Structure 1
Amino acid sequence: MWWPWLVLLAVVALVLCACLAMAVILYKNCQEPFESAFAALSDTGDGVEVQEVCHGRVFLPAQQSSNLGLVYLPGALVDARAYAPLCRDIANRSGCAVVLLDMPMRMATFGMSRISQAMREVTSVTRWAIGGHSLGGAAAAKFFMNAISASSELAIDEKRLLHAEVVALLLHAASVDASVSIDLSGLRDIFALQVLAENDEVHAVLAIKQEKLSDGNAGVTVTIEGGNHAGFGHYGPQTFPVPDGVSTIGLAEQQTQVADATINWLQAIDQRPSRIQ
Structure 2
Amino acid sequence: MSTVARQGGQSRDRRWVRVLLWVVGGLAVVVVAAVLWWVIRFPDADAAALAEVKSRPDLQVVDLDDVGGVALHPSGDRGDEAVIFYPGAAVPPEAYLAVWAPVVAETGVSVFIPAMPLRLAVLGRSRADTVTDANDQVATWWVGGHSLGGAMAGSYAGAQEPGELRGLILWGAYVTEGADLQGREDLTVLSVSGSRDGLSTPSDIDERRELLPDDARMVELEGVNHAQFGRYGPQSGDGTPTVTDDRATRLIADVVSAQLLDGQ
TM bucket normalised to smaller: 0.7 to 0.9
- Aligned-pair CA distance for 1:197: 0.9
Secondary structure of the residue aligned to 1:132 is strand
Which residue in 2 is equivalent to 1:256? 250
Of 216, 234, 251, the residue aligned with 1:237 is 234
Which residue in 2 is equivalent to 1:71? 84
- Aligned-pair CA distance for 1:221: 0.8
- Aligned-pair CA distance for 1:79: 1.3
1:89 equivalent in alignment to 2:102: yes
Secondary structure of the residue aligned to 2:198 is coil
- Aligned-pair CA distance for 1:173: 0.8
AA in 1 matched with 2:113: L
The structure-2 alpha-carbon separation of the partners of 1:11 and 1:56, relative to structure 1 and needing over 3 Å to count, comes to same
Q: Which has the higher helix share?
A: 2
AA in 1 matched with 2:228: G
Which residue in 1 is equivalent to 2:47? 35
Q: How does 1:80-119 map to 2 (within 5 A)?
A: 80-119=93-132
AA in 2 matched with 1:209: E
The structure-2 alpha-carbon separation of the partners of 1:267 and 1:114, relative to structure 1 and needing over 3 Å to count, comes to same
RMSD: 2.3
Equivalent residues of 1:49, 1:60 under 8 A apart: yes
Which residue in 2 is equivalent to 1:155? none
The structure-2 alpha-carbon separation of the partners of 1:211 and 1:229, relative to structure 1 and needing over 3 Å to count, comes to closer
- Aligned-pair CA distance for 1:211: 8.1
The structure-2 alpha-carbon separation of the partners of 1:24 and 1:49, relative to structure 1 and needing over 3 Å to count, comes to closer
Q: How does 1:185-200 map to 2 (within 5 A)?
A: 185=183, 187-200=184-197
1:51-91 Cα distance to aligned partner (Å, 9 max, x none): 33332332222476853211111111111111111222211
- Aligned-pair CA distance for 1:40: 4.5
AA in 2 matched with 1:233: G
1:207-251 Cα distance to aligned partner (Å, 9 max, x none): 22298232xxxx211111111111000112111xxx211111011
> Which runs of 5 or more residues in structure 2 are unaligned?
1-11
The structure-2 alpha-carbon separation of the partners of 1:40 and 1:83, relative to structure 1 and needing over 3 Å to count, comes to farther
Which residue in 2 is equivalent to 1:48? 59
State the alpha-carbon separation in 2 of the partners of residues 118 and 58 from structure 1.
Answer: 10
1:4-63 Cα distance to aligned partner (Å, 9 max, x none): 223322431342243234224323431111123322552312x22233333233222247
1:232-272 Cα distance to aligned partner (Å, 9 max, x none): 00112111xxx2111110111111111111111112222xx
State the alpha-carbon separation in 2 of the partners of residues 210 and 268 from structure 1.
Answer: 23
AA in 1 matched with 2:132: M
> Which runs of 5 or more residues in structure 1 are unaligned?
151-163, 271-277
Which residue in 2 is equivalent to 1:171? 170
State the number of aligned residues.
Answer: 246
State the alpha-carbon separation in 1 of the partners of residues 211 and 15 from structure 2.
Answer: 60
Q: Which moved more, 1:165-174 or 1:17-26?
A: 17-26
The structure-2 alpha-carbon separation of the partners of 1:30 and 1:56, relative to structure 1 and needing over 3 Å to count, comes to closer
Q: TM-score, normalised by structure 2?
A: 0.83
AA in 2 matched with 1:44: R
Report the identity percentage.
26
State the alpha-carbon separation in 2 of the partners of residues 10 and 210 from structure 1.
Answer: 46
Which residue in 2 is equivalent to 1:180? 179
Runs of 4+ more than 6 Å apart: none
Secondary structure of the residue aligned to 1:147 is coil
